[in-house]
Amino acid sequence: LCTPHHPAHLGPIKAVASPRQLLVTVGRAEAIRIYNISKRYEVGSLMKHQAPITTLRFSKKANSLASGSDDGMIAVWRIKDWECVSFKPAHKGSVTDLDVHPSGKVMISCGRDNTLRLWCMTSTKELYRREQKGRGYGGFQQLRWRPKGEGFCYALANDVAICDTNS
């Protein structure tokens, strides 16, 4: 069964995330659109970013949403009331990707500044930073936590790395 579509954004959709009954999308603008999948309607939109949003990721338990944007900012949204609980500069340049640890306690982000950073989800305090020198604009492109959170993997230019956080 397919529901007739309606225009969600004026331009192309740049990021999508979907836990359980929700779907969130972003286009060229700075608004995150929220949809209820089971009832098939738009719930509303979130606005905090001042630049185009580049990435979205829900926590595993779907109690928070993290978003990153072209101006290097990261926002953390509490799902129960859609309040932005943290909004801060994270990278010098675009946030290329982020992911929330399966525990929901930390998130990892990467940016055009060739850094990979680990953040506390509640305070968004930076816990760790790794800089990759000499990669130019390619830099860190995508990253994901491993399923049980025992490590993460990332794409850097034309390489892929798998990191173990237990050692």
pTM of the model: 0.86
pLDDT at 106 over 60: yes
* Strand boundaries in 18-150, DSSP class E: 22-26, 31-36, 41-47, 53-58, 64-69, 73-78, 83-89, 95-100, 106-111, 115-120, 126-131, 140-145
Distance CA(35)–CA(38), nearest Å, equals: 9
pLDDT of residue 57: 94
Which residue would you say has higher pLDDT here, 36 or 135?
36
Per cent of the chain over pLDDT 70 is: 89
Helices (H) and strands (E) in the chain, counts: 0, 15
Distance CA(54)–CA(17), nearest Å, equals: 12
Tokens of 100: 């929330």
Across 61-65, 149-153, 157-161, least confident range:
157-161
pLDDT of residue 138: 62
Give the angle 98-25-158 at the CA atoms, nearest 5°: 40
Q: How confident is the model at residue 3 (pLDDT cuts 50, 70, 90)?
A: low
Mean pLDDT of the chain: 86
